[in-house]
Amino acid sequence: MHLAKLLIATALVAAPAGLTAAPAPLANVTVSVASTSRDPDNAKLDEGRKPAELLRFFGLRKGMNVLDMFGVNRYWSELIAPAVGPAGKVVVYEPTQFYKGDSVAKFNAFAAKHPNVSIRVSPFESPDLPKNFADFALINLDYHDTYWQSDKYGIPRMDPDAFLKRLYASVKHGGIVGVVDHAANPGGDTRAVVDKLHRIDPAVVKRDFKKAGFVLVGSSDMYRNPADDHSLLVFDPKIRGKTDRFVLKFKKR
């Protein structure tokens, strides 16, 4: 009798330790989007970027550590920082080649008002990313640039595999990487296509991330535009802001 009571008591004490903690609630990005404190120029981009829908798709939650790649314009960090709350952190990565002028002053002023936001700056070809940090990383309209080379902007020929190796080390196991990019037609030389159009074949992105050790766990058509035939440079006024874009969700196992 005493043994039975002891076993029951032991089970009651041990049971909570074996339970899986419930995930944090999804972040309320809608409130962030509606904030009047946002940069007006960034808010104008909402219609085409559908930020609340995108971040819900990627599963942004309160308390997450987020890596905002190429985010010096503050578009995503001004939405994500309040949404993840004080228990979460946002680290913005920006290449040295583009961290200059008004963008520096504006970002510093923004970060001063958001204590959970910081920035890391290093050469594009050698990204300095925090190790084992991110529950979620976002690359919006920039992954194709790992295939880009520009004497004008001081961008040398880069190795996408080396770039993704750094990203992989920065993401926690189970963490998500969201990729949004301008779609290119299948085939062709990736570097030549990027140089001419700043577009990339989604099959190339899938291949690169798989090679780096990520697993594709989802995709979305929220930005698809069949009227875009992929022949125009993404900065062409005829298509800018309305390109056919793909959304891929990767996970680090």
Q: Is residue 146 part of a domain?
A: yes
**DSSP-assigned beta bridge partners for residue 91:** 67, 118
Residue 130 token pair: 């925090």
Query: Of the candidates 140, 27, 142, which has an alpha carbon nearest to the alpha carbon of residue 79?
Result: 27
Q: Is residue 15 part of a domain?
A: no
Q: Which domain holds residue 180?
A: 40-252
Reduced to 3 states (helix: H, G, I; strand: E, B; else coil), residue 199 is coil
Number of compact structural domains in the chain: 1
Yes or no: say if 141 and 71 are a contact pair by the CB < 8 Å rule: no
Q: Is residue 26 part of a domain?
A: no
CB atoms under 10 Å from CB of 39, counted, come to 14
Yes or no: say if 178 and 123 are a contact pair by the CB < 8 Å rule: no
**pTM metric for this prediction:** 0.90
pLDDT score for 25: 87
CA triple 130-131-134, angle to 5 deg: 75
CB atoms under 10 Å from CB of 161, counted, come to 11
Reduced to 3 states (helix: H, G, I; strand: E, B; else coil), residue 200 is strand
Yes or no: say if 54 and 27 are a contact pair by the CB < 8 Å rule: no
Rounded to whole angstroms, what are the CA distances from 152 to 121, 146, 156? Answer: 19, 16, 10
Q: Is residue 118 part of a domain?
A: yes
Q: Is residue 25 part of a domain?
A: no
Task: Give the rounded percent of residues in the chain with a pLDDT score beyond 70.
Answer: 92
Distance of alpha carbon 56 from alpha carbon 80, whole angstroms? 11
Distance of alpha carbon 6 from alpha carbon 146, whole angstroms? 62
Q: Is 223 exposed, middle or buried (0-12, 13-18, 19+ CB in 10 A)?
A: buried
Distance of alpha carbon 231 from alpha carbon 14, whole angstroms? 62
Tens digits of pLDDT across the chain (253 residues): 454 444 444 444 444 555 556 788 888 999 999 999 999 999 999 999 999 999 999 999 999 999 999 999 999 999 999 999 999 999 999 999 999 999 999 999 999 999 999 999 999 999 999 999 999 999 999 999 999 999 999 999 999 999 999 999 999 999 999 999 999 999 999 999 999 999 999 999 999 999 999 999 999 999 999 999 999 999 999 999 999 999 999 999 9
Distance of alpha carbon 202 from alpha carbon 193, whole angstroms? 13
Q: Is residue 169 part of a domain?
A: yes
What are 62-81's pLDDT values in tens digits?
999 999 999 999 999 999 99
Q: Is residue 34 part of a domain?
A: no
Query: Of the candidates 191, 127, 199, 138, which has an alpha carbon nearest to the alpha carbon of residue 163?
Result: 127
Beta strands in 43-153 (DSSP E): 65-69, 89-95, 117-122, 134-140
- Give the CATH number for residue 163: 3.40.50.150
CA triple 226-250-227, angle to 5 deg: 5
